[in-house]
Amino acid sequence: MVSPRSILKAFAAIAQEEGVGAHVRRSIGTMKQRNFPPFLMLDHFTVQAPAGFPDHPHYGFSTVTYVLEGMVAHEDFTGSTGVLRPGDLQFMTAGKGIVHAEIPVRTEDNKPCVGMQLWVDLPQELKNCDPLYRDLKREEIPIAKPNDKVTVKVIAGEAYGVKSVQNLAKVAVDYYDYEVAPGGSFIQEFPKSYNVFLYIMQGGLEVNGTKMAQYSAVFFDRDGDAVTAKVPESQKGSSRFVVIGGQPLDQPVVQHGPFVATSREKIYETFMNYQSGQNGFEKARGWSSKIREGITEKDVKAQEGEQRDEL
């Protein structure tokens, strides 16, 4: 028998503006929940092209970007480029330094891009590693369906005996995308040492007898080995939510914007490295992305056609 975790804290994420024309609901990374080690930030974003996140740096952590609707183009100073479509993810380790752009693709239907971005701290010994990427395509993600009311995309980890793709990033996190119909319930196991939270993208949940509305973030205590919740029978439509867990790091978190270190001295040093183009930021000198002014679905199709011709 597994023991359910109790609720440590819960609140609704409030919409705010971020980047250039992006609207986000931020749960982790706010005054209500500054961080939840190893997690530094979680944004539920909606971005309408040509707005987005033009050229910007990162240091000392990893990001997990999950596209729910629309398309996102990516480009960085290492020459890495790509496009995420609905259901795709990108695991990016910034390590010692990266400058990149994340811009929604202007699609033919002109609908906004919707997704999730999670920031995950790196242990001190990995903060100066080389940048690393792993795109996870929708068709690579295994799906568990324990009954007719519960479906879970096993992005990272194991649910109901179904295991995910392995070795997605430098630091492992468990990441599940659940859809539960009215009257359904779920139980997701985690190591007792993990910090675990969930975020409701659609519908509502009843967690340990407490009703949680759409856009709520629920943080759990480490007093059990599973989280469980149910969708009220009376609810109209299914609920969709992510459940995420990871091993806390025994180290200070000193964050200033896109730089995350373990001391203020290292933050100052990183700023100097970025401004002078050294110690990981050498390629930042004079670099600017091709997508910073926007990209269309027609552009993406043309680029993919050129790549096929080269093969």
Q: Looking at residue 27, what is its pLDDT?
A: 97
Q: Looking at residue 304, what is its pLDDT?
A: 74
- Say whether pLDDT at 310 is over 70: no
- Say whether pLDDT at 309 is over 60: no
Rg (CA), the chain: 20
Mean pLDDT of 7-29: 90
pLDDT per position as a tens digit, 91-109 = 999 999 999 999 999 998 9
User: Quick one: pLDDT band at residue 306, thresholds 50, 70, 90?
Assistant: low
Q: Looking at residue 163, what is its pLDDT?
A: 98
Q: Is the peptide bond before 86 cis (omega within 30 degrees of 0)?
A: no
- Say whether pLDDT at 64 is over 70: yes
pLDDT per position as a tens digit, 212-269 = 999 999 999 999 999 999 999 999 999 999 999 999 999 999 999 999 999 999 999 9
- Establish whether 75 is an annotated binding residue: no
| Category of 95 on φ-ψ map: left (φ > 0), alpha (ψ -120 to 50) or beta | left
Domain ranges of the chain: 7-246
- Establish whether 58 is an annotated binding residue: yes
User: Quick one: pLDDT band at residue 161, thresholds 50, 70, 90?
Assistant: very high
pTM over 0.85: yes
Q: Looking at residue 307, what is its pLDDT?
A: 63
What superfamily does domain 7-246 belong to in CATH? Jelly Rolls (2.60.120.10)
- Establish whether 23 is an annotated binding residue: no
- Say whether pLDDT at 113 is over 90: yes
